[in-house]
Amino acid sequence: MNTGRGTRLPLPSSVRKRSMTRLIFAGLALLMSCTLAFGQDAPMQAILQDQSALIVKSSRKTIAPAIASITNSGLPQAQDVLQAWQGKLMWQRKSDGVFFRGEKLDSKTYRLFDFDTGEAVGEAPKSDLKQIKPNSGIRALIGSALVQFQLSDPDPLRRLAALTSIQRDPSADLLAPLRASLAAETDADVLAKKRRAERLLTIAYDGDEPARIAAIADMSGDVGVDVRATLNPLLETQIKAFPNTPPATLNVARKLVPGDTISTDAAYAMLVDNGFAPSLISADDMRQTLAQHITDGKVGGIDVNLLDQPEARTRAYAGLVATGLAKSAPTLPEIKTAVASHSFVEIYHDPSKAVTTAAAAAMLGIDLKVGANQTFDLILDGLSLASIYFLAAIGLAITFGVMGVINMAHGEFIMMGAYTGYVVQQVVPNHTASILIAIPLAFAVTFAAGVAMERLVIRYLYNRPLETLLATFGVSIALQQLAKNIFGTQARPLTAPTWLDGAWVINDVVSISYIRIAIFVLAVAFLAIYLFIMKRTRLGLETRAVTQNPHMAASMGINPNRVNMLTFGLGSGIAGVAGVAIGLFAKVTSELGNDYIVQSFMTVVVGGVGNIWGTLWGAAMIGFLQKGIEWFNPSNTLAAQTFMIIFIIIFIQFRPRGIIALKGRAAGD
């Protein structure tokens, strides 16, 4: 109230009360209108506000209801909210507690986006905002909740990521959205994976027994690890004891007979654990009880000095039992009686008898298929190793098998070929081109080295095997030291082309690397080249002539020295090519040849000296034998090689000329 002098008079108390009441009602009306607006115009924001305390707290133990509220809301914005939350892009405005998705503009300012409309609603300084930072556990829960949205995402990569998440963390909640996404799936590959995941989830979590049995039947012929991982839990069992006949509602796998399928001690221990029988008295319990009742140097009427004897301790304890100072231990007849009066059964965790029966039948068929596939995989491994040994030995089959020269430096020619490939890759960075260049270049380098070795050393030592062995052994040491001086002692990389990366995966049991396949193809190619040279070329004809009768060959106009030089160079060149192939999967060092020289000689000797087919069979026998022995003890390859050498020694005792022995005059030579 205003007077003429401009002085404001105090309002009456009744007026002030009415004004305060109006303000309170106005505030309540404003709050109700905001809440109503959140509920009608911003339904997602209303859910976030309702769960605000849990979201801000960010505890993995309490966050599940908040995630469920967003996931089960049925709102199209749910996926965006969960993704923003998982990606730490959710912010809360401190002034009113409203949640936004934040986009960083600079170090101090963020652009805010409304969760309901998806539109930018302004900018805010970072100081006015609180970032919601879910920990790894909460992000994992959000990721599981996102799966049902990602299953129908337009991006096929996100749909595949959702399937991967299902495989990593399957649950019953994911079965319904997975089934719902099948009808709309357009990508054939994704659809096949969805159907597979649906079958596995049906087996594990569907409440419909016929549906589970049908799904088991659908997957019964599959040897995939995921199928076995789904079926195995259905067949898990536990042993339980019952005072009388087990309830008929139990899914019993088998009944156990004490003393036969379960030991009497184990059966009685189970009774003790379930409170069905008194516990046994252990030696420690007996000692503690005796120690507690020692009086005047005696316990139970037995002198303490005699308690180091088991019989004395037993009599002393019996004395305590007779006086009521200790509990009696069950006797053997009492134990047998207690066990005989109870039933022991092994029961399945899954309550459905029909499901476990179907799962057991499916696993039996799968186990048979897995065994067959493991055998096939073992054959592929043996074939792969045999091709490596054959490729390493084919050059030695020429120098040793045909010419009769014991070349202990053959392994170093393999090493020279591997280092040639490494040098080429330093000059030509393209791995495909470098390998294509390295193969002929390695042949040329080692061919020249073989020719030089034959001219300087070998030609003076023909028909003198001991001197040849010692001389080539010295050359081997010299070449190793030369490689160390040039390349150092560290392993050098020889990288395979990208198209040789990975493996040919037939199923979850059978696979073989592309490098091994390439080596097998290379071995077959060099077998064909060797046969062509020996059977269809003048060099091959002259080599065979000089090998069988050098004097007669010389009288026919053939130069034995030239033929020996070219033949030795050919064998050395093939060893260089083998080095390039071996270097693609083995470490390239100066000792590379040591790993293959013994196997190469064994391959040639076991197969039959002087016969390329014998070398092939020798490589096959050694490769398959080594892989077969390794199968029994895969962690100890050294033991496998030891047993293999012992077997070969025994084999040579019975067949000294090898698998395929030479016949005629060559055999006599």
Beta bridge partners of 125: 109
User: Strand 109-113 vs strand 99-104: parallel, antiparallel, or unpaired?
Assistant: antiparallel
Residues whose CB is less than 8 angstroms from the CB of residue 195 and which lie 6 or more positions away in sequence, other chains included: 182
Do residues 150 and 161 make contact, with C-beta atoms less than 8 angstroms apart?
A: yes
- pLDDT at 559 exceeding the cut of 50: yes
Question: What is the DSSP annotation of 556-593?
Answer: TT--HHHHHHHHHHHHHHHHHHHHHHHHTTS-B-TTTT
The pLDDT value given to residue 369: 92
**Rounded CA separation 281/195 (Å):** 58
pLDDT digits (tens, 9 = 90+) for 339-396: 888 999 999 999 999 999 999 999 999 999 999 998 998 898 889 889 888 988 888 8
Mean pLDDT computed over 398-425: 87
Residues whose CB is less than 8 angstroms from the CB of residue 528 and which lie 6 or more positions away in sequence, other chains included: none
First to last CA, the chain: 139
- Dihedral of CA 376/379/384/385: which sign? positive
Do residues 499 and 432 make contact, with C-beta atoms less than 8 angstroms apart?
A: yes
**Rounded CA separation 525/531 (Å):** 10
Residue 613: burial class (beta carbons within 10 Å; 0-12, 13-18, 19+) = middle
Mean pLDDT computed over 397-407: 78
The pLDDT value given to residue 330: 85
What pTM was estimated for this model as a whole? 0.68
Residue at 104: amino acid letter: K
Mean pLDDT computed over 243-258: 88
Residue at 613: amino acid letter: W
- What does the chain come to in residues? 669
Strand, helix or coil at 10? coil
Of residues 634 and 260, more confidently modeled = 260
Beta bridge partners of 112: 102, 122
pLDDT band at 401 (very low <50, low <70, confident <90, very high): low
**Rounded CA separation 410/400 (Å):** 10
**How crowded is residue 338: how many other Cβ atoms within 10 Å of its Cβ?**
18
**Rounded CA separation 238/349 (Å):** 7
The pLDDT value given to residue 274: 87
Comparing CA positions, the residue from 423, 562, 443 lying closest to residue 483 is: 423
CA distances from 612 to 138, 230, 411, 621, 668 (A): 66, 50, 19, 14, 18
Mean pLDDT computed over 250-272: 90
pLDDT digits (tens, 9 = 90+) for 95-136: 899 999 999 998 889 999 999 988 999 999 999 999 999 998
pLDDT digits (tens, 9 = 90+) for 187-229: 899 999 999 999 999 999 998 999 999 999 999 888 888 999 9
**Rounded CA separation 307/4 (Å):** 116
Q: Where are the beta strands (DSSP E) in 132-263?
A: 237-242, 252-256
Residue at 587: amino acid letter: K
Mean pLDDT computed over 597-620: 83
pLDDT digits (tens, 9 = 90+) for 270-322: 998 888 888 888 888 888 888 888 888 888 888 888 888 888 888 888 888 88
The pLDDT value given to residue 17: 47
Mean pLDDT computed over 398-406: 77
**Phi, psi angle pair for 595, to nearest 5°:** -75, -15
The pLDDT value given to residue 3: 43
**Rounded CA separation 281/498 (Å):** 68
- pLDDT at 32 exceeding the cut of 70: no
The four Cα atoms 124, 129, 131, 132 give a dihedral, to 10 degrees, of -120
**Rounded CA separation 421/582 (Å):** 11
- Dihedral of CA 394/398/399/402: which sign? positive
Strand, helix or coil at 2? strand
- pLDDT at 533 exceeding the cut of 90: no
**Rounded CA separation 428/419 (Å):** 14
- Dihedral of CA 201/207/211/216: which sign? positive
Helices (H), 341-397: 353-396
For 463, the token pair is: 């028909």
The fraction of the chain above a pLDDT of 70, given in percent, is 92
CA distances from 57 to 53, 83, 293 (A): 6, 18, 58
- pLDDT at 50 exceeding the cut of 60: yes
pLDDT band at 610 (very low <50, low <70, confident <90, very high): low
Q: What is the CA radius of gyration of the chain?
A: 41
Beta bridge partners of 122: 112
Strand, helix or coil at 112? strand
- pLDDT at 475 exceeding the cut of 60: yes
**Rounded CA separation 583/573 (Å):** 15
**Rounded CA separation 432/429 (Å):** 9
For 19, the token pair is: 């004004």
pLDDT band at 21 (very low <50, low <70, confident <90, very high): very low
User: Strand 252-256 vs strand 109-113: parallel, antiparallel, or unpaired?
Assistant: unpaired
CA distances from 59 to 71, 139, 140, 275 (A): 18, 11, 13, 40
Mean pLDDT of the chain: 84
The pLDDT value given to residue 15: 43
The pLDDT value given to residue 231: 92
Do residues 47 and 73 make contact, with C-beta atoms less than 8 angstroms apart?
A: yes
Q: Where are the beta strands (DSSP E) in 117-206?
A: 120-125, 129-131
Mean pLDDT computed over 437-441: 93
Mean pLDDT computed over 236-252: 88
Distance of CA 478 to the CA centre of its chain: 42
- pLDDT at 28 exceeding the cut of 60: no
The pLDDT value given to residue 39: 46
Do residues 252 and 219 make contact, with C-beta atoms less than 8 angstroms apart?
A: no
CA distances from 453 to 70, 446, 568, 593 (A): 80, 10, 9, 17
